[in-house]
Amino acid sequence: MNPLLEKRKNIIIVVMIFFMAIYVIKLFSLQIIEKGYKEDAIRNAIREINVIPPRGLIFDRNDSLIVYNEAAYDLMVIPKEMKEAIDQGAIFDTLDLCHVLDIPIEEFIKRIEKAKAYSPLLPSVFAQQMSKEDYGFLQEKLYRFPGFFVQNRTLRHYPIPVAAHILGYIGEVNDEQIRKDSYYQMGDYIGISGIEKSYEEELRGVKGKRMVLVDVNNREKGPYKNGDEDIPAEPGQDLWCTIDVELQKFGEKLMSNKKGSIVAIEPQTGEILCIVSTPSYDPNLLVGKARSKNYAKLLMDSINVPLYNRALKAMYPPGSTFKLANGLIGEQEGVLTRNTVYSCGAGYSIGNHIVHCHGCGSINLVQAVQRSCNTYFCRAFYNTVSNSRYKSIQDGYLAWKNHINSLGFGQKFNTDLPYESSGIIPSVEYFNKKYNGHWNGNSIVSMGIGQGEVGSTPLQMANFMAIIANRGWYYKPHVVKAIGAKNKPNTRYNEKIYCDIEQRHFDAIIEGMLCVVTSGTGRSAKMDDIVIAGKTGTAQNPHGADHSVFACFAPAKDPKIAVFVLVENGGFGASVAAPIASLIIEYYLHREIKRTDLEERMTSLKLIR
**Residue 218: is its pLDDT beyond 80?**
no
Burial class (CB in 10 A: 0-12, 13-18, 19+), 400: buried
User: Three-state DSSP class for 547?
Assistant: strand
Q: Which SS3 state, helix, strand or coil, does residue 153 take?
A: strand
Is 302 within a domain?
no
CATH (domain of 234): 3.90.1310.10
Give the domain-ending residue among 217, 241, 265: 241
Query: Nearest-5° angle of CA 169, CA 175, CA 178?
Result: 80
Clarify whether residues 201 and 262 are in a common domain: no
Q: Given a cut of 80, is residue 216 above it in pLDDT?
A: no
Q: Is residue 18 part of a domain?
A: no
DSSP letters, 83-103, are HHHHHTT----HHHHHHHHT-
SS (H, E, C) 421-490: CCCECCCHHHHHHHCCCCCCHHHHHHHHHCCCCCEECHHHHHHHHHHHHHCCEECCCECEEEECCCCCEC
400 Cβ neighbours under 8 A, 6+ residues apart: 329, 333, 381, 384, 385
For residue 63, give the nearest of 485, 415, 479, 591 by alpha carbon: 485
pLDDT higher than 90, residue 142: no
Picking from 190, 213, 241, the residue at the C-terminal end of a domain is 241
* Segment 454-507, tens digit of pLDDT: 999 999 999 999 999 999 999 999 999 999 999 999 999 999 999 999 999 999
Host H or E run for residue 588: helix 577-590
Residues 214, 236, single domain; the answer is: yes
Residue 411 sits in a domain whose CATH number is 3.40.710.10
Helices 79-87 and 105-118: crossing angle in degrees, nearest 10, is 110
Contact 147, 77 (CB under 8 A): yes
Is 158 domain-assigned? yes
Give strand pairing partners of 308. Answer: none
Instruction: Please answer whether residues 96 and 183 qualify as being in contact, where contact means their C-beta atoms are separated by less than 8 angstroms.
Output: no
- Given pLDDT bands bounded at 50, 70 and 90, which one contains residue 548? very high
Q: Are residues 176 and 60 in the same domain?
A: yes
Q: Which residues pair with 32 in a beta bridge?
A: none
Q: Can you give the pLDDT at residue 192?
A: 94
404 near 453, Cβ under 8 Å? no
The pTM is what? 0.86
| H or E stretch at 551 | strand 547-554
pLDDT at 38: 52
pLDDT at 251: 98
Position 15 scores a pLDDT of 66
Do residues 229 and 375 share a domain?
A: no
Identify the residue with better confidence: 25 or 424.
424
Residue 87: its pLDDT value, please?
Answer: 86
Contact 139, 152 (CB under 8 A): no
Both 314 and 328 in one domain: the answer is yes
Burial-class residue 88 by CB neighbours within 10 Å (0-12, 13-18, 19+). Answer: exposed
Is the pLDDT at 36 greater than 70? The verdict is no
- pLDDT tens digits, 298-320: 999 999 999 999 999 999 999 99
> How would you label 151-177 residue by residue, b for 16+ Cβ within 10 Å and e otherwise?
bebbbbebeebbbbbbbbbbbbbeeee
Regarding predicted confidence, which is higher, 147 or 555? 555
Q: What is the pLDDT of residues 154-183, one digit of tens each?
A: 889 999 999 999 999 998 899 899 999 989
Do 236 and 250 reside in the same domain of the chain? no
CA distances from 435 to 209, 247, 378, 429 (A): 65, 47, 19, 10
- Judged by average pLDDT, the poorest of 31-45, 137-151, 563-577 is 31-45
From first CA to last CA, the distance across the chain in angstroms is 116
Indicate whether 57 pLDDT > 70: yes
d(CA 353, CA 146): 80
Q: DSSP per residue over 33-53, as a string?
A: I--HHHHHHHHHHEEEEEEPP
* Residues whose CB falls within 8 Å of the CB of residue 87, separated by 6 or more in sequence, listed in order: none
Q: pLDDT, tens digit, for every residue of 502-522? A: 999 999 999 999 999 999 999
Both 388 and 485 in one domain: the answer is yes
Residue type, 483: I
**Statement to judge: residues 324 and 184 lie in one domain:** no
- Report the share of the chain in percent with pLDDT over 90: 69
Distance CA 238, CA 235 (A): 9
Q: What integer is the mean pLDDT of 277-300?
A: 92
Considering the domain architecture, whether residues 212 and 271 belong to the same structural domain is answered as: no
Q: Is the pLDDT of residue 545 over 90?
A: no
Bond before 279 cis per omega within 30 degrees: yes
Q: Are 603 and 253 in contact (CB under 8 A)?
A: yes
Structural domain contains residue 290: no
Is the pLDDT reported for residue 19 higher than 70?
Answer: no
Question: For the chain, how many structural domains are there in total?
Answer: 2
Greatest mean pLDDT among 39-43, 149-153, 431-435 lies in 431-435
For 150, 276, 302, 599, the CA distances from 260, given in Å and listed in that order, are 45, 8, 15, 17
β-pairing, 239-241 vs 58-59, is parallel
| Same-domain pairing of 55 and 102 | yes
Task: Answer yes or no: do 341 and 487 share one domain.
Answer: yes
Q: How far apart are CA 415 and CA 218, in angstroms?
A: 49
245-271 pLDDT, tens per residue? Answer: 999 999 999 999 999 999 999 999 999
Residue 7 lies in a domain: no
Nearest partner of 584 among 606, 554, 556, 548, judged by Cα: 554
Say if 300 falls within a structural domain.
Answer: no
Domain containing residue 259: 245-281+308-604
Average pLDDT value for the chain: 90
Q: What SS3 class is residue 418? A: coil
Residues 160 and 266 in one domain: no
Domain boundary among 187, 222, 241: 241
Helix (H) or strand (E) holding 365: helix 365-371
